[in-house]
């Protein structure tokens, strides 16, 4: 795989999981607000169904992100960590493989953590009571 493609796949591995969690949390909060508002109570919004569907979609995006990170990790596993910065005419100004390997390693760990947060957020909202006074 070319260096440019590895860079694109690496950014998918790094960015998709946090965006999936953000989307899941914001949309889930909006569904809860719609369900608990005076107008929303008449709409008959299936809160649990929506939350589980959003949870499944966000979980799928994190699995895709993890697959991208693992792909880059495996493609760059033979990297030389002494290759230094891209300056001084090395690598023709491109990003060395060691940086891709580092970000892929960090993304693999972060994606597992984001998957745990997504499951806690989604399942917590399903099993917690909704529309109660504080």
Euclidean distance between CA atoms 44 and 53, whole angstroms: 16
Euclidean distance between CA atoms 31 and 121, whole angstroms: 13
pLDDT digits (tens, 9 = 90+) for 70-85: 999 999 887 766 655 5
Note whether 23 and 72 are within 8 A (CB): no
Question: Angle 16-21-22 (CA atoms, 0-180°, nearest 5)?
Answer: 95
> Which tokens hold the place of 114?
């984001």
> Can you give the length of the chain in residues?
134
> Which tokens hold the place of 78?
């033979």
pLDDT digits (tens, 9 = 90+) for 44-57: 778 889 999 999 99
pLDDT digits (tens, 9 = 90+) for 77-131: 877 666 555 555 555 555 567 888 889 999 999 999 999 999 999 999 999 888 7
Confidence of residue 25 (pLDDT cuts 50, 70, 90): very high
């Amino acid at each position: 795989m070319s260096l440019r493609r590895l860079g694109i796949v690496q950014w998918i591995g790094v960015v998709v999981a946090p965006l999936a969690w953000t989307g899941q949390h914001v949309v889930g909060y909006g569904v809860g607000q719609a369900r608990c508002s005076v107008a929303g109570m008449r709409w008959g919004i299936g809160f649990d169904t929506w939350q589980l569907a959003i949870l499944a979609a966000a979980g799928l995006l994190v699995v895709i992100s993890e697959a991208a990170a693992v792909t880059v990790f495996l493609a760059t596993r033979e990297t030389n960590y002494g290759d230094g910065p891209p300056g001084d005419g090395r690598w023709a100004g491109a990003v060395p493989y060691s940086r891709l390997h580092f970000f892929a390693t960090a993304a693999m760990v972060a994606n597992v953590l984001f998957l745990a947060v997504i499951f806690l957020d989604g399942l917590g909202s399903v099993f917690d009571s909704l529309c109660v006074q504080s």
